[in-house]
Homo-oligomer: A and B are copies of this chain.
Amino acid sequence: MTRVAVLAGGVGAARFLDGLVRVVEPSDVTAIVNVGDDMEWAGLHISPDLDTVTYTLADLVNPETGWGLRGESRRTLERLSELGGPDWFMIGDLDLATHLYRTHRLTQGDPLSAVTRDFTARIGLECVITPVTDDRLRTVVRTDAGELAFQDYFVRRRAADSVHALRFDGADSAKPAPGVEEALRSADAIVIAPSNPFLSIDPLLSVPGVRDLVTSNRSKVAAVSPIIGGQAVKGPAADILQSLGHDVSALGVARIYAELADIFVLDETDAALASTIEAETGMRVVVMPTLMTDVETKMALASGTLEAALDVA
């Protein structure tokens, strides 16, 4: 039995988890998922990262996009657009059922973690997927256009604004969701998934108690670089590294994760950076292919990462 806790954002984390649950017992995996991207949309509570992770693990995800559902239609959204309603956030008819289910339960007073647990059970998942917190936590992005709500920045404005700073509204008073602390404490390995360090991982760490539990378990923490060859596999991580003054490379990411993780998983493309990262951050660097294009590459990355984390020197 190998218990693994994964700090997870959206698409990259979902793919990593999809490999992980094929190399360890799914029920031994706890995905602690970012909710800084959550939004209220026309009265509905939307949790994009939770949905991406659950849809991916249930093999329901749209493989073209990495988010949303396969075989999706947009009848409601098209009508909403005709009515002059908000149509910039792509919501399909089946996806909408998830948001309605979640919102219905939340309005009845159930916490997001319980709703998520029931939802994942209903779609047949055995691993634990939990929001990092049941409390309201919202990523706010400071740009030249002012402070933007996360999805406003990310989807509506297509992440085109230069990011000057981020804050996580509500983080100070947020409590970890039930089971989050225990999962980190009892894990044999903790993985920081290949997610955006600023938009996905930082909000998780901003919940009081979480960062300390990661750093105090640093010897069993492995971080997977989301940057390959100076570029993000997906999303604005490279742009944000630059605009916040970091090195736009896996080295830049490694510096950010140095105090959290003992192991840094580097793509083979960036093998030349390994010795610099080791020398500068003190992390053990493991070099392997990190691009997840199919089940095999997902499984190989998950098992390689896990092996490194369990191999406490």
| Residues in A lying within 8 Å of B, measured CB to CB | 40-45, 73, 75-80, 82-86, 93-94, 96-98, 100-101, 103-104, 106-107, 118-119, 122-123
CA distance A45 to B44 in the complex (A): 11
Do the beta carbons of A85 and B73 come within 8 Å of each other? no
Known: A43-B44, A43-B100, A44-B100. 13 other contacts (CB 8 A): A42-B44, A42-B100, A43-B106, A44-B44, A76-B76, A80-B100, A82-B97, A83-B97, A84-B101, A84-B118, A84-B122, A85-B101, A86-B104
CA distance A173 to B183 in the complex (A): 50
Do the beta carbons of B101 and A80 come within 8 Å of each other? yes
For this complex, 14 residue pairs linking A to B, each with C-beta atoms less than 8 Å apart, are A42-B100, A42-B104, A43-B44, A43-B107, A75-B75, A75-B94, A76-B94, A76-B96, A76-B100, A79-B93, A82-B122, A83-B97, A83-B119, A84-B101
The binding surface of chain A is classed by DSSP as: helix
Nearest residue (CB) in B for A106 is B43
Partner of A79, one of B41, B79, B94, B118: B94
Name the distance in Å between A77's Cβ and chain B's nearest Cβ. Answer: 8
- Please tell me how many copies of the chain the complex holds: 2
Do the beta carbons of B107 and A83 come within 8 Å of each other? no
Do the beta carbons of B118 and A98 come within 8 Å of each other? no
CA distance A40 to B97 in the complex (A): 16
A78: chain B residues within 8 A (beta carbon): 97
Name the distance in Å between A170's Cβ and chain B's nearest Cβ. Answer: 18
Q: With contacts A76-B76, A76-B96, A97-B76 known, is A42 near B83, CB below 8 A? A: no
Nearest residue (CB) in B for A40 is B107
Name the distance in Å between A149's Cβ and chain B's nearest Cβ. Answer: 13
Do the beta carbons of A103 and B73 come within 8 Å of each other? no
Name the distance in Å between A26's Cβ and chain B's nearest Cβ. Answer: 20
CA distance A80 to B93 in the complex (A): 10
CA distance A123 to B103 in the complex (A): 28
Do the beta carbons of A97 and B119 come within 8 Å of each other? no
A104: chain B residues within 8 A (beta carbon): 41-43, 85-86
CA distance A93 to B97 in the complex (A): 10
Identify which of A80, A106, A122 gathers the most chain B CB atoms within 10 Å of its CB. Answer: A80
Q: With contacts A43-B44, A44-B43 known, is A83 near B96, CB below 8 A? A: no
Partner of A101, one of B42, B75, B94: B42
CA distance A84 to B105 in the complex (A): 10
A-B pairs, top 7 by smallest CB distance, nearest first, are A79-B97, A43-B103, A42-B104, A85-B101, A43-B43, A80-B97, A42-B100
A101: chain B residues within 8 A (beta carbon): 42, 80, 83-85
A123: chain B residues within 8 A (beta carbon): 83
A75: chain B residues within 8 A (beta carbon): 73, 75, 93-94
CA distance A103 to B106 in the complex (A): 17
CA distance A101 to B84 in the complex (A): 8
